[in-house]
Structure 1
């Protein structure tokens, strides 16, 4: 299937990580020019180098989403070097494991700015161009915690759910402009983030990490953690021309993990 992404410009946040990196490389293979952004500039650089090594076009940006002042110069650079953003993949880092109660206002504020407010402001920056061109894709990666809250991820569950309400509202506002807005949520995908969470749980419970991982995988109907490529393939489809009638949706890429309908 031709996804129609050749010549499009895609901005992928968190492109130095497992999920973001897979998404960036997959969009590039489909012909998109990719701006790979990450708070870890070296990691973003490795993703951009991998894309270039495979014959694609990419630039790397070191980008701390908690600093809203970086949005304008970063987008200006992308526009100058690749062109206006057609596909925006909002993929932000997660907060540390915490209960929902007892967290300081400073912690809530810090992660709201980096995980939520930055997404709002960045999307508003690229939307006018998408509207003018009558085409755009806004894909926001959240967490299975927005459907079934994950124990000891209280801050993550609360803040990521905000993005779901925002994306659904936005989809209704921009649909007639040829722009789609969708949420994708991973189950347990085999990334460093999942390894970190397994390690943290093992410490809390005094168990081996391998035992925690085995228990976790046994609760997934397909019996394993997902591959980042499996996640990236779904994102690439949502970014495509053939997906023009999919908007306002929450797409689960979870191996059947979430039990609710």
Structure 2
């Protein structure tokens, strides 16, 4: 553990840090292509508008090209986090500033992950998640302190016996011949999740934990890994070579900007 502290005295502070006036998008850049870029842009705009701030369309191409330029320096397959904040301003909720964009990049390292999920209870009230708000992820960090996970297990987050999501991914369950994915407050409408819904391959609905007993297969969905196969939930083994998983994989692999 590092006990060092970096202490600074400032007159202005970024409002994303001061008041969590911040939202972000995470996505892959593969061979210069971003899958569902327009959806990421629209959600970023929607999130910023929730603070009463405007991210004008005229900035879209400039921001996209900056993301592509930054990603190219990392290689042909790069993970990008695009964060938008209210900018630096003096003390006070009513202060205004010039919005700031931060672009972070990380080479994407393809690795086979073994995913075993364990149901855990979300300890806070559920709020709508129309965008990826930094504050929502701060709450998730606090929620983690309430969970005791078995070795090698990742959380499957629930609220009052209703399934929500993985830690940073939507979940989909193959149950009685169709893919189901949770919907409702506390669930981010992820872009990969929405893509499959629009393709007619998944049905959004409220999902009780009782569904797990009849679940044949499960996948996690986000714009970093796209699709990850789940090996087990609550020590119940799942089918990892299910034909329904192959259908999703084949659909994604045909899209520009996707690599599984």
TM-score, normalized by length of structure 2?
A: 0.28
Greater share of strand residues, 1 or 2?
2
Larger radius of gyration: 2
TM-score, normalized by length of structure 1?
A: 0.28
Greater share of helix residues, 1 or 2?
1
